[in-house]
Chain A
Amino acid sequence: MAETPPGEVTQLLQAWSGGDGAALEQLTALVHDELRRLAARYMRRERPGHTLQTSALINEAYLRLVDARHVQWQNRAHFFAVSAQVMRRILIDVARSRQNLKRGGGARPISLDEALAASPERSADLLALDEALERLAVLSPRQSQVVELRYFGGLTEDEMAEVLHVSPRTVRHDWGLARAWLYRELTRET
């Protein structure tokens, strides 16, 4: 047996797969906690008075995790990799549903004010980014995965290095190059 137990998330996952449903709830709470923190930070900084549908995000995460139960989590790194994947799918679905909503005529004109609020950091167009990531995966699957792990999964450099079995330096390089390439792809005039 391993000499040391894995981190909490893995423990929770193992407990969960061991039939302890409460563990999944704890896991969900962990994710929820993080989302709340992010959402609150975002709200404070930029647009007070607006609402976030974090619970919708979480519910989706929860359902998808349950669906993905037959995926065997073997360690923390694997879990992170899978979570990043799950988060990516969820967030892309969110973006897609918004887009459909707009196409479907439920469109609300976006004021200049809001457009300005959105532009300074160029909040990434998630759908375009998703597609660009697929193109990047053709050139370098690892670089594409680095973006997935960091941007969608929130992994640190060291964690990514662990998942990908490369040095943190390589991860840093991959991230820099991938980001430059993606930025160019997404800002390219068409």
Chain B
Amino acid sequence: MTPERWERVGSLYAAASELPTERRADFLRDACGDDHALRDEVASLLASGEAAGAFLNSGAIADAAKIVAHESVGSLVGRTLDHYEVVSLVGSGGMGEVYRAHDSRLGRDVAIKVLPELVTQSDDARRRFVREAQAVAALSHPNVRSLYDVGETDGHVYAVMELLEGETLRARLARGPLPVQKAIETGAAIADGLAAAHARGIVHRDIKPENIFIGSSGHVKVLDFGLAKMPDAPGVGANAETATGIVIGTAGYMSPEQVAGMAVDARSDIFSFGCVLYEMLARRRAFERRTSAETMTAVLNDEPPPLEAAGAGVRRIVSHCLEKQPEARFQSAQDLAFHLRSQLNLVDTEKHADARTDRRRLWPALAALFTIATVVLSLVHFRQAASPVRPVRFDVQPPEHLTFSGGAFALSPDGARLAFVTASGETPGHRRLWIHAFDTGEAQQLSAAGDVGGNALAWSPDGRKLAFVAEGSLRTIALSGGSPTTLAPAVGVSTWSADDVIMFLRDLRLMKVSAAGGSATPLTTPDPAHREVHYAPQFLPDGRHFLFSRSSVAGGTSGVLVGSIDARPEQQNSRPLLATHGRAAYAPSRDDAQVGHLVFNREGTLWAQPFDAGRLELTGDPILIAEHVGEPENPQRPGFFSVSRAGALAYRRQPTVSGIPVWLEANGRTTTPLLDSPVTGSEQIRLSPDGHRYAMTIAGDIWVYDLGGRPPIRLTSGGGNDMPLWTPDGKRIVYARGIPSYRLVSVPADVAGATPEPVSPDGHFHPHGWSRDGRELIAVLNTYSSATGWDILGIPVGEKGEPRIIVGTASDEGQAGAALSPDGRWLAYTSNVTGASEIWVQPYPGPGSPILVSPHGGMDPHWAPNGRNLYYLENRKLMAVAVDVGKPAFTFTPAAFLFDIPAPAASFPVQSYDVAKDGRFIMGKAVSTGASSPITVILNWAAALTK
């Protein structure tokens, strides 16, 4: 089949598929005439189209997922969940699998419980799990197994717990009876653990021998508080979760109220504990019948058989635990522990009592210390506030060897601390959260936060927690320590209201979620017709309204709007406040939260404009706060800032790379810069054929600079243009136009804003040179096909004709440059056929075999004007290959290092250069990379406005 015939098939197919099925055969017979093969082909395709069903409709990811899913049934052994390397399977059951794993961050072994996926598919169940895990994580007691972390990755929800060596009480009992003394000690330890949990409002609900662990050294731990429920919060309907029919607990250890499906509290655990204690002493269960229904009936009605093994005191304790009425039992696990210990010998009792008293004494002392510290701090602040209010400006530098990560910083509500994220050079995955306190000048890392992403942070209104995005999820962390809490998938977060609502970004819109957890709901609906994106939400003081930014690509307007959390998502688009491509935040005045300023960035400058937060109106004119925070001409780079409630403002300049074109001698020595001041984002320098001018790309537009000092000319506008190439006569510039479609076009080199003329067909070409006769333009093309990759093409100049392929394989040829030798005989180009970008040379116009000339990788080949040298870049090294021009075959001496090139003048990491007739090199040299730029803080910034 030829493409032409295929086109014919296609048009018949299109026409036929518009028709009802029964008329297609007639249509094809008429349309195809004698060409039965054509008719059959179209008919076959029509049939295939009907049979294809949902073929390809679900998308490649889903299909790939199926391939993967069908293979990876079962164990996670050998895999890594976040930073936990799963070592072995410890056990599995209905509530999930437990693995032994290694925490590669803290270097310790842990146990990981992975929830069954059936459970985690339910948002409700997952939420409950996370909430309960949070409660347990807050609990630290020697008789409760520690829960370190809760995570969600690859669809697995898991809890990371203390790894225990030893056996469960169930296993221990199976080996034989516990001595009475030992049983009482074990019981007291369990009661201690329960008491600690109960003190935090956590009820276990499933105390049984399987959930008690006896360590190798005899230490007792209560396990599996994962099933524990928080008692009903005041004002919430009675025991909603039980009411939905979820039965928690194990028949035979359930309390009567649990069996009856009534609300349970700590006293239910005391009943279950009584069953366990009974079993330890009696070596049989307190309530055991043939079926669980009978067992549960016994729990409600029967008394267990009398205990023979223990003394009267212990028997009394057991039966006091097993009272049917909660009111009749021990009322606290603490009392229970006390009574149990009273059955042990006196020495032990005293030892325990002393230890407990000591702990109790220590706490008030610590609390007093904290109070003093707080008072001192408040005094410091008070003095600052009381002194004449003047703006104070200082820079915060990143910790040593690190840089700040974009705009990921936020002032604390009291303006006394700055949270920020650092990056470590180019290394991905090393973003760390820090808190910098202005009074001490010291920064402290919150390592538990993990690898922090996103471009913003949000403080809780009380300044005790931070919300951030890590590993694709919104998380919160307490500054006092502990593990982060994961709330929802998110890409950015920037505000947290007094009512503990956190707003974050996902799917190009704003979402909200309670800081306490729960489901996330959308707050705004971006208009898809205008390709809107909503971002940068900031709550206003009432906690109901918020500011947010909207940007639109297609016909809409960009600006800052006021939204309301009480409005429906599609109604949020109605209150525009400011036209800007940046973002805004509200800074209340010192004495009235309702009036203050909107701080916002517009065209690279930071402004403040009086704003009445009660009436949601701007009330004055904008006042300039800081210039050059972003790039004035580039709305995508507005710069970053943060404001606090208490008159502090922080901003950071958009890290930009600026540079100056320079000449470099053949020995690498730099001569005078070619411009007085640096330009931002300049790249792709090309000298004109006469060497008097050079063209370069600056932020997506083509400029021509005159080496004689005449003012530069901007040839294009609108962005999306790059890769300039002079025509051989130096009169025009060919470049790659990106908007509205990819195409090579040309404009006069000395006229601003001329209409471009097409040079190539549509396609993503880069121009790289001309044949000696000027009749063929050598260009590379991204074919967007993995079968062909980038190819090098010859485009006929000034005449009709199709481009021809000069080099076209499955590898990428010319992606990192191509150049024809001055004598027109050799084409040098890059290819990654070896796996790395290398320089190859082959005869031009062909045919002929390519010769590899770069031993260790290479990009951007250029010929010396006399053809005796072929230059290229090997990372930051300029290399030269000496060519023997007299030989018919390509003859060269291996590449020699010339000199280290300067860092490029644009953020594009690869330098570009050109070679002058006199052998000098021209290239951009970075003056500032901006990456190390500090965060500037202004305290009392508003004071400057009143002057």
Closest chain A residue to B633, Cβ basis: A1
The CA of A44 and the CA of B126, in the complex, are separated in Å by 14
Q: Is there contact, CB below 8 Å, between B656 and A25?
A: no
* A-binding segment of B20-28, B210-218, B550-558, B567-575: B550-558
Interface residues of B in 414-453 (CB under 8 A from A): 421, 423, 426, 428, 431, 453
- The verdict on A29 contacting B785 (CB below 8 Å), with A52-B155, A72-B722, A121-B58 known, is no
B739 is an interface residue with CB less than 8 A from chain A: yes
Contact of A22 with B431 at beta-carbon distance under 8 Å, contacts A138-B3, A180-B45 already known: yes
CA distance A110 to B910 in the complex (A): 49
- CB atoms of B636 and A51 under 8 A apart: no
Contact A40-B406, Cβ < 8 Å, known A8-B535, A98-B67, A180-B45? no
Expressed in whole angstroms, the minimum distance between the Cβ of A66 and any Cβ of chain B is 7
B846 at the interface (CB under 8 A from A): no
Residues of B within 8 A of A26 (CB): 453-455, 491-492
Chain B residues in 8 Å Cβ range of A148: 784-785
Report how far A89 CA is from B815 CA in the complex, Å. Answer: 17
- Among B153, B739, B782, which residue has its beta carbon within 8 angstroms of that of A75? B739
Q: Are A57 and B6 in contact (CB under 8 A)?
A: no
Partner of B65, one of A22, A52, A55, A81: A52
B654 an interface residue at 8 Å Cβ cutoff?
yes
On whether the beta carbons of A70 and B489 are closer than 8 Å, the reply is no
Inter-subunit contact A184/B635 (CB<8 Å): no
Shortest B583–chain A CB gap in Å is 12
State how many angstroms separate the Cβ of A186 from the closest Cβ of chain B. 8
* CB within 8 Å of B: which A2-57 residues: 2, 4-8, 10-11, 14-15, 17-26, 28-30, 32-33, 35-36, 38-40, 42-44, 46-55, 57
Residue in A closest to B681 when the chains form the complex, CB atoms: A18
Does B382 touch A at the CB level, under 8 Å?
no
Least CB distance from B7 to A in Å reads 7
| CA distance in complex: A38, B507 (Å) | 14
In the complex, whether B717 has a CB less than 8 A from a CB of chain A is yes
Q: Which listed residue (B406, B489, B551) contacts A15, Cβ 8 A?
A: B406
- Separation in Å of the B468 CB from the closest CB of chain A? 11
CB contacts (< 8 Å) of A62 on chain B: these are 428
Pairwise interchain contact B929-A180, C-beta atoms closer than 8 A: no
8 A Cβ contacts from B362-409 to A? 405-408
Contact of A124 among B55, B490, B717 (CB under 8 A): B55
B residues less than 8 Å from A1 (CB atoms):
633-635, 717-719
B790 to chain A, nearest CB (A): 10
Q: Which residues of B contact A23 (CB under 8 A)?
A: 406, 455
Residues of A within 8 A of B929 (CB): 19
A22-B454, A74-B720, A141-B785 given as contacts; is B406 within 8 A of A42 (CB)?
no
Q: Could you tell me if A6 and B636 are in contact, using CB atoms closer than 8 angstroms?
A: yes
Q: How far is the CB of B260 from chain A (nearest CB, A)?
A: 33
**Known contacts A4-B552, A152-B60, A183-B52; is A25 also within 8 Å of B154 by CB?**
no
Report B-chain residues with C-beta under 8 Å of the C-beta of A88. 60, 786
Docked pose: A74 CA to B55 CA in angstroms: 33
When C-beta atoms are compared, the residue in chain A nearest to B152 turns out to be A36
Contact A17 B908 (CB under 8 A): yes
* Contact partners of A28 in chain B: CB under 8 A: 453, 472
A63 to chain B, nearest CB (A): 9
Give the number of chain B interface residues (Cβ < 8 Å): 116
Q: How far is the CB of B763 from chain A (nearest CB, A)?
A: 10
Residue of A nearest to B154 (CB): A55
Decide if B824 is an interface residue (CB 8 Å cutoff). no
CB pair A53 B72 closer than 8 Å: yes
The reply to whether B64 and A51 contact each other, CB–CB distance below 8 Å, is no
Cβ–Cβ < 8 Å partners of B656 in chain A: 18-19
Set of chain A residues within 8 Å of B490, measured between Cβ atoms: 29
- Could you tell me if B636 and A15 are in contact, using CB atoms closer than 8 angstroms? yes
Given known pairs A8-B533, A11-B551, the reply for A124 and B63 (CB within 8 Å) is yes
Residue A168, interface by CB 8 Å: no
In the bound complex, CA of A40 to CA of B841 (Å): 50
Q: Which of A22, A110, A148 has the most CB of B within 10 A?
A: A22
B657-676 contacts to A, CB under 8 A, are 657
Query: Is B861 located at the chain interface by the 8 A CB criterion?
Result: no
Report yes or no: A57 in contact with B52, Cβ–Cβ below 8 A.
no
Total number of A-B contacts with CB less than 8 angstroms?
314
Which one of A43, A82, A180, A187 contacts B46 once the chains associate, using CB atoms below 8 Å? A180
Instruction: State the CA gap A7–B718 with chains docked (Å).
Output: 16
Chain B residues near A108: list those with CB within 8 A: 71
Residues from chain B with Cβ under 8 Å of A82 in the complex: 784
Return the contact of B489 from the options A33, A38, A140, A184 (Cβ within 8 A).
A33
Task: Mark the stretch among B10-18, B248-256, B799-807 that contacts chain A.
Answer: B10-18
Q: Identify which of A52, A89, A176 contacts B68 (C-beta below 8 A).
A: A52
Query: Are A81 and B49 in contact, CB atoms less than 8 angstroms apart?
Result: no
Q: Which of A61-86 contact B (CB under 8 A)?
A: 62, 66, 69-72, 74-76, 78, 81-82, 85
Q: In the docked arrangement, what's the CA distance between A176 and B489, Å? A: 35
Which of A47, A78, A98, A122 makes the CB contact (< 8 A) with B55?
A122
Chain B residues near A24: list those with CB within 8 A.
428
For residue B690, CB closer than 8 A to chain A, the reply is no
Interface residue from A5, A30, A134, A180 paired with B13 (Cβ < 8 Å) = A180
A140: chain B residues at CB < 8 Å are: 3, 6-7, 10
A159 shortest CB reach to chain B, Å: 10
Residues of A within 8 A of B910 (CB): 70
B104 neighbours in A (Cβ, 8 Å): none
B907 touches A17 (CB 8 A): yes
Chain B residues with Cβ below 8 Å from A144 are 785
* CB neighbours of A145 from chain B (8 A): 784-785
Q: Is the CB of B117 within 8 A of A49?
A: yes
Q: Does A103 lie at the interface of the complex (its beta carbon under 8 Å from any beta carbon of B)?
A: no
Min Cβ gap A73→B in Å is: 9
Chain A residues, CB < 8 A from B48? 180-181, 183-184, 187
Given contact pairs A29-B491, A98-B68, A177 touches B45 in the complex (Cβ within 8 A): yes
CB < 8 Å neighbour of A126 from B46, B64, B554: B64
Contact of A43 among B117, B634, B930 (CB under 8 A): B117
A157 at the interface (CB under 8 A from B): no
A4-B64 CB under 8 A given contacts A20-B406, A177-B45, A183-B52: no
Counting CB contacts under 8 A, is B118 at the interface?
Answer: yes
Closest to A26 in B: B491
In contact, B60 and A51 (Cβ under 8 angstroms): no
Give, as a whole number of angstroms, the nearest-CB distance from B850 to chain A: 21
The answer for the CA separation of A95 and B930 in the assembled complex, in Å, is 42
Q: In the complex the two chains form, what is the Cα distance from A124 to B405 in whole Å?
A: 41
Identify which of B453, B635, B654, B782 contacts A5 (C-beta below 8 A): B635
Do A139 and B1 have beta carbons less than 8 Å apart? Answer: yes
Interfacial chain A residues near B9, Cβ < 8 Å: 177
Q: Return the chain A residue nearest B80 by Cβ.
A: A55
CB of B106 within 8 A of chain A?
no
B55 touches A183 (CB 8 A): yes
User: Which residues from chain B contact A35 at a C-beta distance below 8 Å?
Assistant: 61
In the bound complex, do residue B405 and residue A22 qualify as a contact, i.e. CB atoms below 8 Å apart? Answer: yes
Q: List 18 A-B contacts (CB under 8 A).
A: A4-B553, A7-B551, A17-B908, A19-B656, A21-B405, A22-B405, A22-B431, A26-B454, A28-B472, A29-B469, A33-B491, A39-B155, A48-B117, A50-B72, A138-B3, A176-B49, A181-B45, A183-B48
5 nearest CB pairs, A to B: A180-B49, A74-B738, A25-B453, A22-B406, A183-B52
- Given A43-B121, A52-B68, A117-B70, 11 more pairs with CB closer than 8 A: A4-B554, A22-B421, A22-B423, A22-B454, A49-B73, A50-B117, A51-B73, A52-B69, A76-B553, A177-B10, A183-B52
